[in-house]
Amino acid sequence: MEIGKISESILKRSILKQIRHRRDEIIVGPNVGANCSIISLKEDEDFVITADPITGSVFDIGTLALHAAANDLAASGAEPVGIMLTILLPEKFPEGSLREIMKEIEQGCILLNMEIMGGHTEVTRAVNQPIISVTGIGKVKKGKVIKTSGAKIGQDVVVSKWVGLEGTSIIANIKEDELLTKYTPTFVEEAKNLIQYISVIEESKIALNYEVTSMHDVTEGGIYAALWEVAAASNVGMEVELNKLPIRLETVEICEHFDLNPYKLISSGCLVMTTNKGWELVKELESKGIKATIVGKITKGKERVVLSEDERKYLEPAKSDELYKIY
């Protein structure tokens, strides 16, 4: 494709043709010449809006982009409704690959009951790989937003699924050939397939019934960053036991191979929740087939620590994600 805004013919056959209308709230969607989309909500509902770019991978970028936005909305207690897409493509990017990205995103929207509302697609010399930036729009009943800053002293800290799952999947795709010189094809494929667990929508819905006061999707900086952000935003302390942080063998092995810290690795699909009903929440999540673990407590003061035998490791604000070390 040539540099600049994509042509109307490409827009129609490779973008608009992939998109279906399914949400009654969206009353004006994507079309030729349409610069804005319109969404209509009830009087007792509020908008929740988030934005995320995907820059760390060229694999599964449609899936990563959609779930990055949907997970942020879900962690706020909101129902994801739709997304606005900005897609920046390098020069000579194949139109067929663009069409596949759109199909990937649309398929994800079907599963999450969301809708592509609109956006912009452009070929530009400013990028050397496809970049997707997503604005997610959700809705929530007035007064029911869950904030990262809602953690309370004495609450359990619950984590769903496993730390590092997103990063493990990305690395397994990018470094597949190298990993196959050490590990079996089945092992590498299992690592790549961890992407299937990337959505936190189901656990967030369940958590709303168990008095959660804070939820936070674990993204860049990994579980250590997410735990810090919950405690810092809530102005509380936190104690977490390292041996209780759930982690897959694939993540351990791949991080050891590339000398990465799995607790500082991007981890979408892993949700941090705080509640006074930690055991009840864990039991309910696991009854629905979602792994969940109580990893610690919210404490008085400002100390945010990870306990490992006799060692106390202090959490700190996120730095560069471990994922970027493999490039």
pLDDT at 2 over 80: no
- Give the pLDDT confidence score for residue 32 in this predicted structure: 65
Topology adopted by domain 4-141: 60s Ribosomal Protein L30; Chain: A; (3.30.1330)
Give me the mean pLDDT over the 283-295 stretch.
98
Give 10-55 as a DSSP string.
HIIIIIGGG-----TTEEE---TT----EE---TTEEEEEEEEEE-
* Distance separating alpha carbons of residues 36 and 92, to the nearest angstrom: 28
To the nearest whole percent, how much of the chain has pLDDT over 70? 98
Place 315 in a pLDDT band, splitting at 50, 70 and 90. very high
- Give the pLDDT confidence score for residue 37 in this predicted structure: 67
For the chain, helix (H) and strand (E) counts, in that order, are: 10, 14
pLDDT at 254 over 70: yes
- Give the pLDDT confidence score for residue 41 in this predicted structure: 79
What three-state secondary structure class fits 215? strand
**Start-to-end CA span in the chain (Å):** 27
* Domains of the chain by residue range: 4-141, 148-326
Place 36 in a pLDDT band, splitting at 50, 70 and 90. low
* Distance separating alpha carbons of residues 121 and 59, to the nearest angstrom: 19
* Distance separating alpha carbons of residues 195 and 70, to the nearest angstrom: 15
Give 65-104 as a DSSP string.
HHHHHHHHHHHTTPEEEEEEEEEEE-TT--HHHHHHHHHH
Which tens digit of pLDDT belongs to each residue from 122-174?
999 999 999 999 999 999 998 899 999 999 999 999 999 999 999 999 999 99
Characterize the bridge pairing of strands 156-160 and 311-314.
unpaired
- Give the pLDDT confidence score for residue 35 in this predicted structure: 60
**pTM here?**
0.89
Per-residue CA distances from 215 to 52, 59, 74, 241, 300 (Å): 18, 27, 9, 19, 19
pLDDT at 38 over 80: no
Which tens digit of pLDDT belongs to each residue from 72-113?
999 999 999 999 999 999 999 999 999 999 999 999 999 999
| Number of Cα atoms under 13 Å in the Cβ half of residue 261 | 14
Structure tokens at 243: 């041996």
Helices of type H across 175-239: 176-179, 185-192, 201-207, 222-234
- Give the pLDDT confidence score for residue 27 in this predicted structure: 73
pLDDT at 4 over 90: no
- Give the pLDDT confidence score for residue 6 in this predicted structure: 72
- Give the pLDDT confidence score for residue 153 in this predicted structure: 97
pLDDT at 42 over 90: no
- Give the pLDDT confidence score for residue 3 in this predicted structure: 79
Per-residue CA distances from 64 to 35, 36, 46, 93, 224 (Å): 25, 24, 25, 20, 21
- Are the C-beta atoms of residues 321 and 54 closer than 8 Å to each other? no
C-alpha torsion 62→66→72→78, nearest 10: -170
To the nearest whole percent, how much of the chain has pLDDT over 90? 76
Which of 47, 66, 77, 44 is CA-nearest to residue 206?
Answer: 77
Q: Provide the residue type at 302 as one letter.
A: K
- Give the pLDDT confidence score for residue 154 in this predicted structure: 97
- Give the pLDDT confidence score for residue 33 in this predicted structure: 62
Give me the mean pLDDT over the 293-314 stretch.
94
What does pLDDT average to over the chain?
A: 92
Place 59 in a pLDDT band, splitting at 50, 70 and 90. confident
Residue-level length of the chain? 327
Give me the mean pLDDT over the 200-216 stretch.
96
The CATH architecture to which 148-326 belongs is Alpha-Beta Complex (3.90)
- Give the pLDDT confidence score for residue 320 in this predicted structure: 86
pLDDT at 57 over 90: no
Q: What are phi and psi of 288, to 5 degrees?
A: -95, 10
